[in-house]
């Protein structure tokens, strides 16, 4: 299966109740052969309207910081753990994460990234768990670099959190700088 075919499958998915409230499923976007994959929690309002991930203010902040470290958005692949917007942007339920996880697994397997940045608690908990690492807390795990087999996992604060707490911008910048160094190696 190609990544494009998988994205089409996601757009038509009705495997959990979020399909009833979404406008558009948001499979992900970017380089199908990306070395670096960024994984967020779930689409927000603008993402739901446009069917693209990270297009609102948080997405712009992410693009700006990536540009500062010399990484273009077209070089990377960006997606979320849950592909449809939870109503009111609530945190996705464990059942929704479970229903949607197979898509993320298949995206990872098709793209084969060397580095994955986990933006926020839900992706950190979910993806670290996939690789057998127990999540403790964002405070403890943000900015740490986990090498598992041939992949590198880096938990990072979600840029949306920085819109409400500007002090987190520097933490995100610091984490992504570290990612930039790993990316250039």
CB of 96 to ligand SF4, least distance (A): 6
Stretch that binds ligand SF4, among 59-67, 80-88, 129-137, 174-182 (CB under 6 A): 80-88
Q: List the one residue out of 66, 71, 79, 61 whose CA is nearest residue 169.
A: 61
Q: How far apart are CA 155 and CA 135, in angstroms?
A: 10
- 3-class state of residue 171 by DSSP: helix
CB of 29 to ligand SF4, least distance (A): 15
Q: Does 122 bind ligand SF4 (CB under 6 A)?
A: no
Cα-based distances in Å from 154 to 22, 37, 100, 142, 179: 29, 10, 21, 7, 8
Q: Does 55 bind ligand SF4 (CB under 6 A)?
A: no
Residues 6+ apart with CB under 8 A from 8: none
Residues in contact with ligand SF4, shown as a per-residue x/- string from 1 to 20 under the rule CB under 6 A: ---------x--xxxx-xx-
Please pick, from the candidates 100, 111, 153, 172, the single residue that binds ligand SF4 as defined by CB under 6 A: 100
24 to 53, contacts with ligand SF4 by CB under 6 A? 25
């Amino acid at each position: 299966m190609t990544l494009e075919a998988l994205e089409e499958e996601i757009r038509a998915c009705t495997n959990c109740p979020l399909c009833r409230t979404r406008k558009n499923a948001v499979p992900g976007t970017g380089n199908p052969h990306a070395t670096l994959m960024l994984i967020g929690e779930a689409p927000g309002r603008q993402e739901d309207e446009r069917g693209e991930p990270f297009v609102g203010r948080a997405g712009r902040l992410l693009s700006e910081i990536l540009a500062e470290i010399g990484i273009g958005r077209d070089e990377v692949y960006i997606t979320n753990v849950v592909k449809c917007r939870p109503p009111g942007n609530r945190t996705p339920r464990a059942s929704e994460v479970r229903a949607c996880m197979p898509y993320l697994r298949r995206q990872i397997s098709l793209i084969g990234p060397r580095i994955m940045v986990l933006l926020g608690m839900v992706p950190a908990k979910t993806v670290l768990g996939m690789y057998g690492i127990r999540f403790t807390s964002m405070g403890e795990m943000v900015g740490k670099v986990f090498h598992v087999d041939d992949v590198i996992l880096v938990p990072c604060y979600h840029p949306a959190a920085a819109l409400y707490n500007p002090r987190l911008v520097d933490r995100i910048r610091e984490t992504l700088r570290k990612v930039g160094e790993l990316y250039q190696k």
